[in-house]
Amino acid sequence: MNLIDNQIEIIPVHNSTDQRKALITYHVTGWCLANANLVGHYGASQGCYALPNGDRMGSDSCVIFNARWNALTNVQQGEAFPPVVPNFVIELRSHSDLPQYIHNRMLRWINNGVEESWSIDHFINPPEVRIYTFNANTNQVTWQILVNPTQVTSQVLNGFVMNMQGIF
């Protein structure tokens, strides 16, 4: 569920998409546990965050580094929608999502301060991963498209490489 532009979105998830989301969460959680000294908080699709533009958004998987998480008070950390922007986000396109919808979500994430976001689309043939970042030189969001990759490497989560087997 999300609150974007004062509208609540409830997005149904197909069973096969749910299994893929669980696998993504498994990979991200493994990296977080192995790098616990860097991670302040990590979450899955049930968590939502209060973003600077007023949106309340959740992703399929996210990581918040210590610097951002520890800047919150204990009360803020315990809120249903902590006022913090994840450093890293992954979203898997659901059957009910249009590609443009996911693209716009990725733009919202980056424009609110996410350092790197991945959108994974397993419904197109061949499947693809889009990696979104903010280019400070051009002051614009940029993205790279990886077509049917066997693995994807993060530029933000040092050493995180996600094997795409089972996700595509």
Strand partners for 4 = 7
User: Using CA atoms, how far apart are residues 136 and 80, in angstroms rounded to an integer?
Assistant: 32
Model pLDDT for residues 19-30, shown as the tens digit of each residue: 888 899 999 999
User: Using CA atoms, how far apart are residues 76 and 66, in angstroms rounded to an integer?
Assistant: 14
Do 107 and 141 contact (CB within 8 A), yes or no?
yes
Q: Can you give the pTM of this predicted structure?
A: 0.88
The CATH number given to 2-163 is 3.90.1570.10
Model pLDDT for residues 92-112, shown as the tens digit of each residue: 998 888 999 999 999 999 999
Cα dihedral across residues 51, 55, 56, 61: positive or negative: negative
By C-alpha distance, which of 29, 9, 20 is closest to 108? 9
Model pLDDT for residues 70-79, shown as the tens digit of each residue: 999 999 999 9
Delimit the domains of the chain by residue range: 2-163
Do 152 and 129 contact (CB within 8 A), yes or no?
yes
12 band by pLDDT with thresholds 50, 70 and 90:
low
Q: In what order do the strands lie in the sheet with 116-121?
A: 39-44, 61-65, 88-92, 116-121, 128-135, 140-147
User: Using CA atoms, how far apart are residues 62 and 77, in angstroms rounded to an integer?
Assistant: 15
